[in-house]
Amino acid sequence: MADKISQISQELKNTYISEDMNEKSLYDYKYKEPIKDYSKYFSLRNSTPCQLTEVEISTFLVSNEIYSFGAGVPSKLFFPFKELEFNFNFMGSEKVKLSNEELELIQQYSDSPGLPKLRNWCKSLQMRYHGLCDPKTPGKEWDLLMTPGSQHALDSLVKVFFNRGDSMIVERYTYGGMFAVTQPVGINFAPIEMDEKGMIPWELNNVLSNWEKLYPNKQFPKLLYIIPHGQNPTGVMYDVKRKEEIYRIACKYDLLIIEDDPHFFLQLDNPKDSNGKRILHKSFLSIDREDRVIRLDTFSKFLTSGVRMGFITTNSKLFGSIAFELNASVFHASGLTQIALEKLLLSWGDEKFDKHVENVQEVLIRKRSETIELFEKHLKGQVEYKVPNAGLYFWVKLLGIDCSYEFVRDVLRHHKVIFGLGISSSPDRSIKTPYIRVTFSYLEKEDGEIAFKILSDCLKDYIKNKKKIEHDEDVTFYNGVE
């Protein structure tokens, strides 16, 4: 399948790129008005909503302005947590104790989109880093929902947008966890070839402009899923120009975009500003003019993953559909977790948050260098890789083998060494790939010394034995003929 498509696409390349995809034609694209009606994008599920009317919804309100006996809420007399104290030991210890009001707030049901102060902090973060306008700017209203991790955000968005058989544009290799919520509902993936800057614009344009030829009898894609910074697993960065090109093609073919950006703060090689603060690349959200981008952020990769907290940023027109699914699934993210992050972020303020981000970047730069040393010391000539300038991963080609999966299955894992498998990141499961993904954020150098040595030895043996087997087979065959 993969071969057939790349073959057809090669043939088409010559035909189409010239007339249809030279830079000029691309930049000739005239932006349209922002999308007003998203109904054509919605899933059957989203179009068959729960039939609660506003009046009914209002009966579940718990508020001090009304006498509410509608909601099925426990008595505050049952609440077990009477004191809660955090210590954020960062640039000097900061003890924070919750007030009684806060303790009551987090032990009772609260609003689906999240605790107001935490949400507002995240909104100001999006304004600071992505140049968003005030969320209430007339005609440009946007909003934000706290989610129990970005994985849950994906789960909700699949519910809102996808029916079985719908198509989705993805990168040639992409986040494996995304498949866990898309494959079971039978989404058809259209992977786009990548270069060192990510998805290749002409390839994207090619697939979209020749959809019927390349994917006969498949639904035309309604959405593009992309990981712009320190792409998972390849580690590539989309620069602003590449983002503009991809975005314009998405507009031209009327696609929505899910920007899943867990590594935004893990950009490691960008120049610094006069305050020594690293300048971060613009997101797709920041260049969105037609209200096509839904952005996913998470605290998992630069702060803490175990508390499961992220947030969705979307234009206000899509807010209701997403909030419905969030509410239907968990009501809201854990109040305890929300207040812990709220207290942390508010006590830090912008300055300490930025300082934390800087520290995280420095740690990753150090670990990245250590990992490069290990590759050079133990695996010279056995692997090929590009140094990632963002994220957590090296995307490594194992030389001399055609399938990293078989190598890990048959040999490596029996030596208690584990790396990510290329196939786990591939929407097309029929391929063989020699790639592995190496997480460097978690790597301890002394462990790396041992693990990389084992990898090197196992690779040598595996290749030698494979050659031997092939050779024996030749001999056997030869004998057979004789």
CB of 67 to its own copies, least distance (A): 4
Nearer to its own copies, 55 or 481 (CB): 55
Q: Which is nearer to its own copies, 194 or 344 (CB)?
A: 344
Closest to 122 in 3D by CA, of 98, 153, 85: 153
d(CA 224, CA 257): 5
Mutual angle of helices 100-107 and 335-378, in 10-degree steps: 80
Q: Which two tokens stand for residue 256?
A: 């929505």
Least Å from the CB of residue 251 to its own copies: 30
> In angstroms, rounded to a whole number, what is the distance separating the alpha carbons of residues 166 and 161?
9
State whether residue 172 is helix, strand or coil.
coil
Residue 62: CB minimum distance to its own copies, A = 8
The least distance separating its own copies from the CB of residue 101, rounded to whole angstroms, comes to 13
Rounded to whole angstroms, how far apart are CA atoms 335 and 114? 8
Inter-residue contact 42 to 321 (CB < 8 Å) = yes
Task: Read off the amino acid at residue 90.
Answer: F
Indicate the residue among 109 and 215 with the shorter CB distance to its own copies.
109
How far apart CA 119 and CA 111 sit, in angstroms, is 11
CB 393 within 8 A of CB 237: no
Q: Which is nearer to its own copies, 227 or 249 (CB)?
A: 227
CB of 371 to its own copies, least distance (A): 9
Q: Which of 400, 439, 5, 432 is nearest to 193 (CA)?
A: 5
Residue 283 Cβ vs its own copies, minimum distance, rounded to whole Å: 20
Looking up tokens 């305890």 gives: 336
CB of 398 to its own copies, least distance (A): 14
Q: With contact defined as beta carbons under 8 Å apart, do 297 and 150 qualify?
A: yes
The answer to whether 427 and 199 have CB atoms below 8 angstroms apart is: no
Q: Which is nearer to its own copies, 172 or 367 (CB)?
A: 367
Specify the residue, 413 or 432, whose C-beta has the smaller distance to its own copies.
413
CA angle, 405 then 410 then 416, to 5°: 95
Shortest reach from residue 23's CB to its own copies, in Å? 35
CB of 132 to its own copies, least distance (A): 25
Residue 470, phi then psi, degrees to nearest 5 = -55, -45
**CB nearer its own copies, residue 93 or residue 275:** 93
Please give the Cα distance from 157 to 312 (Å, whole number). 10
Residue at token pair 């065959």 = 477
| Tokens of residue 477, six digits | 């065959």
CB of 82 to its own copies, least distance (A): 3
- For residues 165 and 186, is the Cβ–Cβ distance under 8 A? yes
User: Which residue number, 109 or 211, has a Cβ lying nearer to its own copies?
Assistant: 109
Nearest residue (CB) to its own copies, 208 versus 357: 357
Closer by beta carbon to its own copies, 151 or else 205: 151
Beta-carbon contacts of 426 under 8 Å, excluding residues fewer than 6 positions away, are 172, 173, 191, 433
